[in-house]
Structures are given as C-alpha cells and as structure tokens.
Structure 1
Amino acid sequence: MKVPVYIQIHNRIRKEIELGKWTVGERIPSERQLAEDFNVSRMTLRQAIQTLVDEGILQRQVGSGTYVASSKVQEKMSGTTSFTEITEGQGKKPSSKTVSYHTADPSMSEIEKLKLSDGEQILRMERIRYADKQPICFEVTTIPIKIVDNLDKNDITSSLYKALEDKAGLKLGSASQTVSAMLASEKIATLLNVKRGSAILRLRQITTLDDGTPFEYVRSQYAGDRFEFYLER
C-alpha cells in the first residue's frame, strides 16, 4: 500500500530534526517554503506539519511560526484513560462519530511508539467523541492490524478495550500518557465546534497488553473548557 504523501513528508521532516537540521527551540521554515522544497501543495504540507504538532514534535506559536518542540514536564497519571468509562462515571452518555477508518502503512512515529516490525500495517481511525451529544475531543488512534484482525469495525469503534478482553481474550496492561496545552487549529475548531485558537488539552497515550506489548497509540485533542484531567497520587 502506498504511503500517503503527507506521511512521507512527516517522516522526512522528523528525520531531518533527528539528524540535527533543526534543533530544539529553533523555528523551521514557513509552510510556503517547505511546500516548495518538498514540491507538494500547501494543503499537503500543512497536514504533515499538523501531524507533527499533534505528536508533540513541533509546536506552533501564534504570530511567530512553527518550532521544534522543547521537552516538557510529564505528569504520571494512574490507570488507562478510557473516554467511555470516564464519561459514564460522570453520569453522561458517551458516543462517537467515526471520521475515517482505514488500513495503512505506519509513519515513523507510529513504528516507534508501537514497536512495529518491517512490513507491519496498522489500522488508523479518527473519531469525534461526545458526552451527552456535545463534542469533547477529536481522537486519532493507531492499532497494529495483527491485534484487531479478528474484530469487526463495530467492536473496535464502540469499545476497543472491552472487545479485546471479551472477544480476543487479551488482558490489558498499563498506559503511559503525556498531557500538554495547545491552540485549536481550524480543523479542530470545526470538528469540536469551538473558536479557532481556543485552548485545547492534548493527550498522547500508548497502551500495552499485560505482557508489555504496545497495542494502541492515541493522539487526542480535548476542548479545554469541556474537559479536565484528574490526577490521583
């Protein structure tokens, strides 16, 4: 399967950062310049940059540009973050809308986070998550195909964790999570029905099975005025 152009650009920019072409805190060239350098459309380049921003590799500064992200303080959170369980625990009804759902070749970041072997494919799905019909977060989830090969789409999109335990016979392990702040892009503002530039809480989570095998890499963006994380020590 051919790797989407924006993922190819994502991989090349990330590789150049790793090789030291741009260092932490350094501003990268403008989207116009990069689009010319890579000979792609501004829309394709913007999609690649946004993916790197969502992963925490780059960060945007309004009115200034896009920079290689600096390291941030990380807060350990207890347990896995299941949107369904959190929402139901607050007496609200969870639901979701699938924006995209397809098999694909993984990006460099997905290979790294999920410890994939050469040639492995992934399932990548994008969803809007709701509580009492109000949009709360936009979520991009990547799962190795071998993990969900025997599950159907409804199992995966409705309650992945429950399906893995009840139908696949797998036991869940732990999750590592990082939370940071960002501003809503035009796409996220439209999907979550907030103003562009509104405060967004970004969660990146890697979830493992009980044997330590990573099976899920999630990048979520929560409307800052509708959701908060509670840390328990």
Structure 2
Amino acid sequence: MASPVYIQIHNQIKQEIENGKWQVGAKIPAERELALSFGVSRMTLRQAIQTLVDEGILERHVGSGTFVANRKVQEKMSGVTSFTDLMIAAGKVPSSKTISYHITTPSESETELLELKPDVKVLRMERIRYGSGVPICFEIATVPANLINNFSKEEITTSLYKALEKKANLFPGRAIQTVSAMSASERIAEYLGIKRGAALLRLRQLSYLQDGRPFEYVHTQYVGDRFEFVLEK
C-alpha cells in the first residue's frame, strides 16, 4: 500500500532539507507555491507541512511564514510514565477520545526513529487525553503494527503501556524527550477547548522497551496552563 500523498510530500521536503536545499533558519516557499509544485491541493500540502512542524523540522512564524527550525536547548526528563499513571498520581480520572486510528505506511521520520524494517506498517492514532473530564492534551502516537497485533483497539487507546505489560510482558524503559513552546492552531484549540493561539507545550517523545527496541513515537500538545513538566537532574 502506497503512503498517503501528504506523507510522500513530507518525506520529500524532509529529504531536501537534509540535502541542504534549505538551511536552518531559511524560509521555505509559500504553501500556494509548494502546492503547485507538488500538484496537490493546499489542504494536502498544509497537512504535510503541519506534520513537519509537529516533528520540529519546520516552525511557523505568525505573519512571516514557515522556516527550517533551529536546534533548541534540550533538557532530559527522567523516567517513562504513561499518561494514565500521571493522571492517577495527580488524583484525576484519566480518559481519552480517539480522533483517528488506522494502520498505515510510516513516514520517513517514523521509519528512522522506530528503526523499522521495509514494509512494516504502523498504527497511527490521534487522541484527546483528559484528566477528570478536562482536556489536557492532543496526542499523535505511532507504534509498529506488528507489536500490537494481538491487542484490541480498546486496550491500545485506553493504556498502551499497561496492555504491553499485561499481554506481552514488555516493559517501557528509557525515552528521549524534547519540549518546546507553540501556539494552538484552530483545529487543536477546538479539540482542547481553548482559544486559537493559546500557549501550548509540545512534547516529542521516542520511547524504548527495556530490551532497547524503540516502540512508540509520540508528539503531544499540552494546554500550557493545565500541565507542567518537572525536570530531574
């Protein structure tokens, strides 16, 4: 099965950036111009650009355009904790609403990060995560499909980590985490019940099993005034 068109565009733009077509800090062409060059609708092109923004490869400057992202200062956070456990520890009732859930061809970034072999599909799901009924974050999670073949959709969307532990005897180990600031798009603002442009904390996380295999790539947008990260050194 061929990759979705927006993923193909994502991969090509990412490759061009890596090949030096656009340097760090450079402004990329306008969406209209790129849509014409790729022969796609602006909606499809925008989806590809948004995926690159979510991955931290591009960044939008309101009123100025879209630029190749600069490297940002990173802080390591200790431990890997599921959203469910975080909410329980905070005395809140965890829940989620699944926006999309499908097995698909991984993007080039997902293939690299998850160290996938050729032809391995992934589960990509979008969820709104809640704490006692209050939306806390919007999350896009990607997991190798062969890892969760025997899991039900309910088990995966409720708590993937608990399903891995109970059904497959697999335990999360370390994670590489990157946190940055961003503003809420119209779509995400609607999901999270906030105003467009409100402050968000963006977390990109690559999680590994205790045996060293990467098993989940997640980019999450947290409501700035509903969540905070605590760093341990």
TM bucket by the smaller chain? over 0.9
Measure how far apart 1:226 and its partner are: 1.0
Q: Do structure 1's residue 125 and structure 2's residue 125 form an aligned pair?
A: yes
Structure 1 residue identity aligned to 2:100: S
2:38 matches 1:38: yes
Supply the distance in 2 between the matched residues of 1:36 and 1:225 (Cα, whole angstroms): 39
Counterpart in 2 of 1:102?
A: 102
Percent identity between the aligned chains? Answer: 65
Residue 115 of structure 2 is matched in structure 1 by 115
For structure 1, the 5+ residue unaligned runs are none
Aligned-pair CA distance for 1:86? 1.0
In the alignment, residue 149 of structure 2 is paired with which amino acid?
D
Q: Following TM superposition, by how much is the alpha carbon of 1:6 offset from its aligned partner in structure 2, in angstroms?
A: 0.8
Q: Give secondary structure in 1 for the equivalent of 2:168.
A: coil
Q: Return the offset for 1:172.
A: 2.0
Q: CA deviation at 1:81?
A: 3.6
Distance 1:138 1:226 in 2: 12
The residue aligned with 2:68 is: 68
* TM-score, normalization by structure 2: 0.98
Query: What CA distance in whole angstroms lies between the structure 2 residues aligned with 1:37 and 1:195?
Result: 33
Alignment gaps of 5+ in structure 2 = none
For the residues of structure 1 that align with 2:58 and 2:81, how far apart are their CA atoms? 24
**Which amino acid is the alignment partner of residue 61 of structure 1?**
H
Amino acid at match of 1:223: V
Number of residue pairs matched?
233
What is the correspondence of 1:157-176 to structure 2 with a 5 Å cutoff? 157-176=157-176
1:5 to partner: Cα distance: 0.9
Alpha-carbon displacement from aligned partner over 1:165-224 (angstroms, at most 9, x marks no partner): 111111221111110001111111111111111111000111111111000000100111
Instruction: Give, in angstroms, the shift of residue 232 of structure 1.
Output: 2.1
Give the match for residue 185 of structure 2.
185
1:154 is displaced (CA, Å) by 1.0
Residues 50-101 of structure 1, C-alpha deviations (whole Å, 9 max, x = no match)? 0000000000011111000010111000101421111111111110000011
The residue type paired with residue 155 of structure 1 is E
Partner SS state of residue 97, structure 1: strand
Task: Please report the RMSD computed on the Cα atoms of aligned residues, expressed in angstroms.
Answer: 0.8
Report the Cα offset of residue 155 of structure 1: 1.0
**Does structure 1 retain, via aligned residues, the 8 Å contact 2:161–2:171?**
no
SS in structure 2 at match of 1:141: strand
The normalised TM-score by structure 1 is: 0.98
